Structure 1
Amino acid sequence: MQIGPYVRLDGVTGTAMDDAAGPGGLTVGAAAAHVNVTIRTLHHWDAIGLVRPSGRTSGGYRLYSAADIARIHRVLIYRELGLSLDDIGELLDAPAVDMTGPLRQQRAQLLDRISRLQAMVDAVDRMIEAASSGILLSAEEQVAIFGQRWEPSRIAGARDRWGDTAQWAQYAERAAGRTPEDWRRIADGIARLEDDLAAAKRAGVRPGSAEADALAERHRASIGAYFDCTLSMHVCLGRKQAADPGFTAYYDAIEPGLTVWLRDIIDANARARGIDPDAATWT
């Protein structure tokens, strides 16, 4: 006995009745399982006239014939091609239409989509390689671009030390999209900055002066080519470099005492902008 559109006193729902086997075709549940769509989808396609079942059980439940299943498969193919349900309905209900034109158009769109997806795959591959190697340049290319004093092993050392940080992830993302020409422009900018820092140190430019602050900001911007660098992070980097024998040797080879002077102008610039260098943290 049925007391509503779905619930019967024997506890069987309408959907369960739809799933029951019946003569003359597949029930909606069996058809949905056969073509791997939901029952709701088939109900909707029936409601809009896209795929109407050819038969009904004695109880009024849908039955899908072999031709109905074939039509469902055609709908799925066209959906995969990107056609709307309205367009699919027009194609299916107009058997005399020349399918060549629409299909060629869809093929061109698919090829374009494949091309864009392949470009995305290539970009992801570059990011994976950049995250692993640190830079998409050979050791020879690195030396040719960054100069004879450059040591390619620095990249591996930085990866081992910082590879699990957000800054390394940001660096790898940016590195993945850079060409040798991009790196050459960055290297040229750093070389000009180092020359200007050395000249200012030799000229006796004092930390805290407008000229020194401008140089400190240029130095922070050069780090920004790799990852976003706040004033507080800049202070931490300046002090870490000043305490590192390798960095000290690098900068002092450009100009004696340059490492400590650079640390001092970074501290003074941060202090002028509201950051206490002695309380700076990596944030």
Structure 2
Amino acid sequence: MTQDGRTVGHVAADLGVSVRTLHHWDELGVVRPSERTAGGYRTYLPADVARARRVLLLRDLGVPLADVPALLAADARVRRSELVRRREATLARIARLQEVVDAVDTLLAADERGILLSAEDTTAVFGPGWDPAWSGAARERWGDSAQWAEYAERSAGRDAQAWRAVVDATREVLADMARARTDGVGPTDARAVALAERHREAMGEFFHVTPSMHVLMARMYVAEPGWSVTFEEVQEGLTAWLRDAVEAAARARGLDPDAATWG
């Protein structure tokens, strides 16, 4: 550092850029050090540093580096007009980025909580028997899966009305299954197979469900009491009937249920 000038290293550290960047600006004529030391090293005067700070601002505003010298040399009216335009564009970009941040926050909340409804809306949509702990248990069990990630993404975009449509579709197909059983429809009949496909479509509103995955889900419904109670409350024996209908639907697609995999 000279009495008035500053070395490239000191200026780079002060501005938060690399020495290579300052050398590049020097080569392009964007910012050139005005003084030399006795040893021949070029140094930056205060006016050079001030110009470098203006370059940093313009660069942050998105002005191409090649356009900076001309803009700095332009009259005040041109510079002010460009700054106003760039400021408005920056504010618009900030607004868009804030929307992205808000979307990420919602997605993180959905990943943590599952359903993003108030307690009142949750009860209205899912019924008074809904237990908030179920979401936590599901996340603990499947939170690292691709299906949970997809479920969280969909949940993040659903309000009470959207969730009601999902729940209603599920309840309707279960009610239709119960009516089919009452009518004497067997789980391998065409009507049962069609209902099993409807059930898979309804489950697909939570995450993508392949026929193979559907087989494993239906078997889980039978094997785990916590799941079977949902179907048995609709009609006793419905859980096993659904499983058999799902397996019949898989066979109709050429899939061996015993070879079903999650995916």
TM-score exceeds 0.5: yes
Give 5+ residue unaligned stretches, structure 1.
1-20
Choose the corresponding residue for 2:252, options 272, 279, 283.
272
Partner-residue secondary structure (3-state), 1:262: helix
Paired residue for 1:7? none
Find out whether 1:180 has 2:160 as its counterpart.
yes
- Verify the 8 A CA contact 2:170 2:203 in the aligned structure 1: no
Partner-residue secondary structure (3-state), 1:97: helix
d(CA) in 2 for partners of 1:126, 1:155: 16
Choose the corresponding residue for 2:12, options 27, 32, 50.
32
- Verify the 8 A CA contact 2:192 2:245 in the aligned structure 1: yes
Paired residue for 2:82? 102
Paired residue for 1:12? none
Choose the corresponding residue for 2:148, options 148, 168, 172.
168
Amino acid aligned to 1:260 = A
- Verify the 8 A CA contact 2:150 2:207 in the aligned structure 1: yes
Paired residue for 1:225? 205
Instruction: Answer with 205-214 or 103-112: which moved more.
Output: 205-214
d(CA) in 2 for partners of 1:267, 1:151: 30
Paired residue for 1:126? 106
Partner-residue secondary structure (3-state), 2:55: helix
Higher RCO, 1 or 2 (CA under 8 Å, sep at least 6)?
Answer: 2
Cα shift readout 1:203-262 (whole Å, capped 9, x = no counterpart): 233334433332222212222211222222211110110122233232122223211110
Give 5+ residue unaligned stretches, structure 2.
none
d(CA) in 2 for partners of 1:269, 1:249: 23
- With normalisation by structure 1, the TM-score equals 0.83
- Verify the 8 A CA contact 2:6 2:43 in the aligned structure 1: yes
Amino acid aligned to 1:269 = A
Choose the corresponding residue for 2:135, options 155, 159, 162.
155
Choose the corresponding residue for 1:201, options 173, 176, 181.
181
d(CA) in 2 for partners of 1:90, 1:211: 76
Choose the corresponding residue for 2:46, options 63, 66, 73.
66
Q: CA deviation at 1:22?
A: 5.3
Q: Compared with structure 1, are the counterparts of its residues 202 and 47 closer, same or farther at alpha carbon in structure 2 (3 Å cutoff)?
A: same
Q: Compared with structure 1, are the counterparts of its residues 97 and 202 closer, same or farther at alpha carbon in structure 2 (3 Å cutoff)?
A: same
- Verify the 8 A CA contact 2:4 2:46 in the aligned structure 1: no
5 Å-filtered alignment, 1:43-122, equals: 43-57=23-37, 60-122=40-102
Instruction: Answer with 113-122 or 243-252: which moved more.
Output: 243-252
d(CA) in 1 for partners of 2:62, 2:182: 67
Cα shift readout 1:116-147 (whole Å, capped 9, x = no counterpart): 22212211221222122221013321221123
Amino acid aligned to 1:271 = R
Matched positions, count: 263
Partner-residue secondary structure (3-state), 2:43: strand
Cα shift readout 1:180-201 (whole Å, capped 9, x = no counterpart): 1211221222222222222222
d(CA) in 2 for partners of 1:208, 1:58: 96
d(CA) in 1 for partners of 2:256, 2:43: 77
Paired residue for 2:193? 213
Higher gyration radius (CA):
1
- With normalisation by structure 2, the TM-score equals 0.89
- Verify the 8 A CA contact 2:8 2:19 in the aligned structure 1: yes
Partner-residue secondary structure (3-state), 1:228: coil
Find out whether 1:254 has 2:234 as its counterpart.
yes
Moved segments of 4+, more than 6 Å: none
d(CA) in 1 for partners of 2:39, 2:27: 19
- Verify the 8 A CA contact 1:208 1:272 in the aligned structure 2: no
